[in-house]
Structure 1
Amino acid sequence: MTEKFSSTNTHKTSVVSRQGRWIRFLPALIVLYSIIKEFRVGTSFTYKYQTEFLNYTAATLNGEVYPYYAYAYLFAIVPILLFTDILLYKPIMYLEIFGQLAYRFTLTFTSSILSQQIGQAMYGITDASDIALSSYIYGKFEKDEYQKLTSWNSAGEMVGKTGGYLLTQLIILTHIGTYRTLNQIAFCASCIAFIFCFLMPRIKWKHIVAKISTEESRKFQGTHSVFPTSFLEYALYRLRNMKSDFFKNYSNGSIRKWSFWWAMTTSMSYQVTLYVQTLYGQVQVGDDTPLNAFADAAYSFTSAVFILLMNRLPINWDKWGETTLVTISIVDTVLLVLFSRTNSIYLMYCCYILYRSLYQVMITVAQWNIAKKMVTDSYGLVLGINSFIALILQSILVRIVTDKRGLGMQVREAYLVYAALHALLALIFFISIVYSIVSYLASAG
């Protein structure tokens, strides 16, 4: 009997030891996965590929193909935000990779307008599923590691994008391949990303329950809650607590402010990114060696550097967060106005690099601030709701501003609308700062 007990303890110790060694290597695997899945070769020239290789007009792409991205994103984000935590993250990570594969397949091997619409829809599902990896990180690790791992993950994504953009530009400048070649490489990269996703250890429901139990014990000492004892009970527990988790998290003023900025800025950033190649195309007529990918590589590399720097700086975001958001929003307004008015492709590149870099850095800051302030482990729910609101706003922008069934604005005029919305965002947070100062002075008096 003693030997059996000793053997059992030895086995458990061995398992714990292996898990401890594995968890030390997991951050590196996450960063590698982030790099590979964001190695999206050819993205900078999708518009030129579809107009010059597939022979679509700008009007067809902007009015009949690209809007499907936003609509599919909006359709997919609801079930994703509801079930990411319940399904323990990895199935949604697989969905992201499958969406990438389908999108690249339609670009590489098909040419009908229906297939391009399906491809845009799958790309929308891919981006809607992007919250799964961040939720996976927060579910697997402890809160004191959130800022570091969020920064590493975001920097890894930027490094992957930088590599993809540089390879894209190299192929175009040296003429060793065509726009079709770029999409073939991207399809292969998505296959490799699937392998890395498969290697990521799944999170067990017992691990999440243990985290919830520890958190509740810390907050409510002396109470004994009943926790799930099976996956079915865990799923039902998540469903029952979804409403209360929502109110617990969004009752925090800091989470509301960061989430509001996230949703507003993300919706506009998606629109700017979606139509930037159309704007480039207006001033690149007859240019056989455009530098679009260099611009993308520059913003992603700059973002990676500044994300890592922000992780090292001891900034009190509770104190300086709103001031930073006002400043960033004003800069974004100026950049988009310049972007929409200029006919210089190099000034366009500069505006795009600065705009996208500021967005990537601040969305990373917003993400870890929200995660640290959360009082429940419903990471997929909160991140999903923020993305859902952003997609509602983007779909409204698409329907009103660019869709041919709305105002059908040209891209330059649409960019002025996005600039005005950034100015409005700056005004809202400025009013919030003034209100906070007045309230503080009134209470001090």
Structure 2
Amino acid sequence: MYNMSMLYPTLCLCAYGLFANLRPSEPFLTAYLMSPDKNLTETQVVSEIYPIWTYSYLALLLPVFLATDYLRYKPILLLQAASFVVTYTMLLKAQGLRAMQLLEFFFGLATASEVAYFSYIYSVVEPAHYRRVTAYCRSVTLLGSAAGSLIGQLLLTVAQVRLVYLVWATLASAVLAFVPPWFLPMPRQSLFFHKKAEGTTQGQCDYGGSLIENVDNKASLNNRDLSNASPSFSEVTTRSCGLSGVLKMLTVDFLHCYRRGPLLAWSLWWALATCGYFQVLNYAQALWENIRPSTEYDIYNGYVETLSTLLGAVAALLVGHLPVRWTLWGELALCGLSLLMAACVLVMVALKSIWLCYGTYVIFRATYMLLITVATYQIASSLDMQRYALVFGVNTFVALLLQSMLTLVVVDSAVLGLDIFTQFYVYCGYFAVISAVFLLAAVFKVTTKRHSELDALSRSPEDTDIS
């Protein structure tokens, strides 16, 4: 039964997630920036403004990750909420290229702070409820995103409002989102800096900064141990680990985790595919604007974003019901579905049909959501919560590092500054390369397994003679 003491913070967090992701202006951002309200050119928007988000996200991810744990989540949630308010206030009032670049910095800060949203709940609920509250929080963010896109589209096509009023609606939602975090209880401990001084369930940090932890004991924890691991249910004292101790702990854990072959393969796909996924999402509106200009035609970006979000959520839910042995067929699945994503991007850019572009975009997003859910499950199933945060953080950091390099070379006007159609041909080739990498991995896996079986058969007669 769900404990009432956990119901309150879960409801607050879900309310925050709903309003923070309810952004009616999001599907029409490129059209708005290029409209008379902002009067920016396509080159400025694509090559000089949007890249700032990628660079800011990368630069802020690690310090925000450490600050989130050190400050115990709640202050970073408030920082994220404030960043959203600043972002959409500037989107309404500020003018000019430099102001929009500063806006992208604040949006990068808000995005980097998202780590606090999913980390907070694990510090105030029993581990037995982790799966349930994660599902609640993830579902409500998807619901908010889908609802925001649908509201924006209906306001634009049915109510015939101007794009600027969609930004007003988004700002109102951001202001509402600023309220719930203030009512969240402050956690007593965190994963790294503030740890329990008693017991070894979640790890122990001594004054020298070393970590003493045996993850293999995780499977033997009984329900009583799991309940005692939560600070919400017992009075515990905390001990602060210094920054050097935390960094040593993260280094040891990093080396331990990434020695595992299967985890490394899924993490590699995570980083590579997320990089390409972010690029396609960031610049899809610019492609649509070139194929069907919003100044000449009605656009339906909101419907597309709503459908792709909902279909992505359904695809994620299907993971638990698909009769696929991912440990056996994982590499081939990653190869085939990455190739499907490459084909979707190719159709988007080559045929120059807005309806095919919309349709393949929906398939692209749903495919990614399916695979990222599988990757999340495959990685998390072998990790405890502390390493879960570390591995996912590292994977996201590598994805952003790759995305920053891709953005700098392909998008940024300081280097190549390719036009939007050429960019999407690059992204198509990028996903084709990912597919080829995992085809080689699958062939290597099958060949290695076959050789092992032949070696076993060749040794079996000798074993029989000896016996």
TM-score, structure 2 length as denominator? 0.82
CA contact (8 A) 1:80 1:128 kept: yes
Aligned to 1:241: 249
Indicate which of 27, 50, 65 corresponds to 1:81.
65
Indicate which of 333, 337, 353 corresponds to 1:324.
333
- Amino acid in structure 2 at the alignment position of 1:81: F
Indicate which of 178, 201, 204 corresponds to 1:214.
201
- Amino acid in structure 2 at the alignment position of 1:110: A
The structural deviation recorded for 1:234 is: 6.8
**Any stretches of 5+ residues in structure 1 without a counterpart?**
1-16, 222-227
CA contact (8 A) 1:249 1:375 kept: no
Matched, 1:389 2:389: no
Structure 1 residues 212 and 288: CA distance shift in structure 2, 3 A: farther
Q: How many residues align?
A: 422
Matched, 1:45 2:28: yes
Please give the residue correspondences for 1:13-52 in structure 2 after superposition, counting only pairs within 5 Å. 20-24=3-7, 26-52=9-35
CA contact (8 A) 1:34 1:153 kept: yes
Larger helix percent:
1
SS at match of 2:70: coil
* More relative contact order, 1 or 2 (CA 8 Å, 6+ apart): 1
Structure 1 residues 219 and 373: CA distance shift in structure 2, 3 A: closer
In terms of mean alpha carbon deviation, does 203-212 or 54-63 score higher?
203-212
Describe the superposition over 1:412-433 as per-residue Cα deviations: whole angstroms up to 9, x where unpaired: 1111111111111111112112
In terms of mean alpha carbon deviation, does 415-424 or 284-293 score higher?
284-293
- Amino acid in structure 2 at the alignment position of 1:281: E
Aligned to 2:41: 57
Give the Cα–Cα distance (whole angstroms) in 1 for the partners of residues 270 and 199 of structure 2: 26
- Amino acid in structure 2 at the alignment position of 1:428: V
Aligned to 2:226: none
The structural deviation recorded for 1:123 is: 1.3
Aligned to 2:318: 309
SS at match of 2:296: coil
The structural deviation recorded for 1:230 is: 3.7
The structural deviation recorded for 1:231 is: 4.3
TM-score, structure 1 length as denominator? 0.86
Aligned to 1:4: none
The structural deviation recorded for 1:26 is: 4.8
**Any stretches of 5+ residues in structure 2 without a counterpart?**
203-212, 219-235, 455-467
Structure 1 residues 358 and 96: CA distance shift in structure 2, 3 A: farther
CA contact (8 A) 2:341 2:431 kept: yes
Structure 1 residues 262 and 325: CA distance shift in structure 2, 3 A: same
Describe the superposition over 1:369-423 as per-residue Cα deviations: whole angstroms up to 9, x where unpaired: 3233225614443322212111111111111111112122111111111111111
CA contact (8 A) 1:81 1:381 kept: no
Structure 1 residues 77 and 248: CA distance shift in structure 2, 3 A: same
The structural deviation recorded for 1:162 is: 0.9
SS at match of 1:356: helix
CA contact (8 A) 2:339 2:432 kept: yes
Aligned to 2:106: 122
Aligned to 1:7: none
Give the Cα–Cα distance (whole angstroms) in 2 for the partners of residues 45 and 284 of structure 1: 13
Describe the superposition over 1:235-293 as per-residue Cα deviations: whole angstroms up to 9, x where unpaired: 66534412112212222223222221111111111111111111111122343521111
- Amino acid in structure 2 at the alignment position of 1:278: A
CA contact (8 A) 1:151 1:364 kept: no
CA contact (8 A) 2:195 2:238 kept: no
- Amino acid in structure 2 at the alignment position of 1:177: V
The structural deviation recorded for 1:316 is: 4.1
CA contact (8 A) 1:146 1:371 kept: no
Aligned to 1:276: 284
Give the Cα–Cα distance (whole angstroms) in 2 for the partners of residues 202 and 308 of structure 1: 32
Structure 1 residues 150 and 306: CA distance shift in structure 2, 3 A: farther
Describe the superposition over 1:74-117 as per-residue Cα deviations: whole angstroms up to 9, x where unpaired: 11112123333333333333332222222111111111222111
Matched, 1:172 2:156: yes
Indicate which of 257, 262, 266 corresponds to 1:254.
262
Indicate which of 72, 86, 96 corresponds to 2:80.
96
CA contact (8 A) 1:155 1:303 kept: no
The structural deviation recorded for 1:60 is: 1.5
In terms of mean alpha carbon deviation, does 184-193 or 204-213 score higher?
204-213
Give the Cα–Cα distance (whole angstroms) in 1 for the partners of residues 72 and 262 of structure 2: 26
CA contact (8 A) 2:70 2:190 kept: no
Could you tell me the percent identity over the aligned residues?
A: 26
The structural deviation recorded for 1:164 is: 0.3
SS at match of 1:213: coil
Matched, 1:112 2:121: no
Aligned to 1:373: 382
Give the Cα–Cα distance (whole angstroms) in 2 for the partners of residues 234 and 444 of structure 1: 50
The structural deviation recorded for 1:209 is: 3.5
Structure 1 residues 220 and 324: CA distance shift in structure 2, 3 A: closer
- Amino acid in structure 1 at the alignment position of 2:109: I
Give the Cα–Cα distance (whole angstroms) in 2 for the partners of residues 218 and 118 of structure 1: 43
CA contact (8 A) 1:135 1:379 kept: no
